[in-house]
Amino acid sequence: MENTIVIFKTNKDFQKELQDLADYILSKENLLAIKVKIKFVKQGRANINSRKITIPIWAIDRGLHFLCYYLLHEISHFICFDKNLDYGHHFRFKDTERRLLNEVGIIPIYKKAYIKQLNGLNNKCLYNEKKYLKEEVGL
Ligand SMILES: [Zn+2]
């Protein structure tokens, strides 16, 4: 897995791209598969029992790096649960999430549980929440 550009081949069928990435990671981690759905919801979630991940459709608007982060965040919950590491957003969770993000060429910069910025391996900013909300949403 070199980088997100390689992962997101079509830039069209996001659900399939996310599913492919989830399948790749889960098989690499030797864990059971997860079903990924993009839905019109306010917030995404990881349902540990049904092994389903919901990604909100608004995440697409924030760009591929953010979308990728969102998926890897939810996948990290499954990895931590399956491996009995962490049930919240504590340091083992963040270690897992950071490891997955690094694999796709992303360095996360945190603000509490979630990220405020995503950088590339060259430390160039790929996504900044404040900048996005100001320039794209007008907040
Ligand atoms: Zn979470």
Whose tokens are 């990895």? That residue is 79
Q: How far is CA 137 from CA 38, 45, 76, 127, 129, in A?
A: 21, 23, 28, 14, 11
Measured between alpha carbons, how far is 130 from 116 in angstroms, rounded to an integer? 7
Query: Which residue type sits at 59?
Result: A
Provide the edge-to-edge strand list for the sheet that holds 52-56: 35-39, 52-56, 45-47
- Position 102 pLDDT exceeds 50: yes
Interval between CA 76 and ligand 1 midpoint (Å): 8
Cβ neighbours of residue 97 under 8 Å, at least 6 residues apart? 72, 73, 76, 108
Domains parsed from the chain with CATH numbers: 4-137 (3.30.2010.10)
Give the model's confidence band at 10: pLDDT under 50 very low, under 70 low, under 90 confident, else very high. low
Interval between CA 73 and ligand 1 midpoint (Å): 6
Per-residue pLDDT, averaged over 115-134, amounts to 95
pLDDT at 134: 92
CA atoms within 13 A on the CB side of 42: 0
pLDDT at 113: 87
pLDDT at 9: 55
Mean pLDDT value across the chain: 90
Interval between CA 105 and ligand 1 midpoint (Å): 20
Give the model's confidence band at 8: pLDDT under 50 very low, under 70 low, under 90 confident, else very high. low
Interval between CA 52 and ligand 1 midpoint (Å): 14
Burial of 30 (0-12, 13-18, 19+ CB in 10 A): exposed
Question: For the stretch 82-96, what's the b/e string if a residue is b when 16 or more beta carbons lie within 10 angstroms of its beta carbon?
Answer: eeeebeebeebbbeb
Interval between CA 3 and ligand 1 midpoint (Å): 23
pLDDT one-digit tens code per residue, 12-43? 788 898 999 999 999 999 999 999 999 999 99
Per-residue pLDDT, averaged over 88-95, amounts to 94
Measured between alpha carbons, how far is 49 from 36 in angstroms, rounded to an integer? 14
Interval between CA 80 and ligand 1 midpoint (Å): 11
